[in-house]
Amino acid sequence: MTAHSKKQALDIAKDCFAVRLRKLHREVSGLYDDRFRPFGLTTAQFNLLVSIAAHGEVAPKQLVETLSLEKSTVSRNIEKMQKNGWVKTTPHKDKRRHLLALTDAGEALLEKVTPAWQQAQEDAATTYHSLKSMIKDIPLT
């Protein structure tokens, strides 16, 4: 390990978008996970819960696009949320598809965790002052 290559590695670590973004993602996700834990909810599941609620009724395919998740990830995460009684499916004329919606329990959960979400938002904004301005630059769709 020459001094040169060590310095080069330092530069990469400092400049790399992925290194910083992944670290920030772990830290921020942790704040939300801490707040959601008492409800038996994870941040990934909360994302899906909110997205389904926002659509009313929605196909998995749509969630894949909205959240940039792999279809198999959606498939399996939804499966857990169904087992927890938060999500229900309804058939579609096109038998390949089906639609997802929140159950009453799912809607009640969303109501119930909203204050925890607000606290997590504050945690994040307090710890990472730049998030508030940064958020506008993160594309949503």
Partner DNA sequence: CCTCATTAGATGTATATGCAACTATCCAAT
Partner DNA sequence: ATTGGATAGTTGCATATACATCTAATGAGG
Q: Which residues pair with 102 in a beta bridge?
A: 87
78 binding partner (options a second copy, DNA, none; Cβ < 5 to 8 Å by kind): DNA
Q: Is-contact 35 117, C-beta < 8 A?
A: yes
| Token couple for 135 | 């958020």
Site for DNA in 91-120 (CB under 7 A): 93-98
75 binding partner (options a second copy, DNA, none; Cβ < 5 to 8 Å by kind): DNA
| Token couple for 51 | 């997205």
4 binding partner (options DNA, a second copy, none; Cβ < 5 to 8 Å by kind): none
- Residues lying near a second copy in the complex (CB under 8 A) are found at 1, 5-6, 8-10, 12-30, 32, 43-44, 46-47, 50-51, 53-54, 56, 67-69, 101-102, 107, 110-111, 114, 117, 120-121, 124-125, 128, 130-131, 133-135, 137-140
Instruction: Tell me what percent of the chain is helix, strand and coil, each rounded to the nearest 5.
Output: 70, 10, 20
Q: Is-contact 74 64, C-beta < 8 A?
A: yes
| Token couple for 119 | 């606290």
Cβ atoms within 10 Å of 50's Cβ, excluding its own: 15
102 binding partner (options a second copy, DNA, none; Cβ < 5 to 8 Å by kind): a second copy
Q: Which positions lie near DNA, rule CB under 7 A?
A: 22, 26, 30, 33-34, 42-45, 59-61, 64, 68-78, 80, 93-98
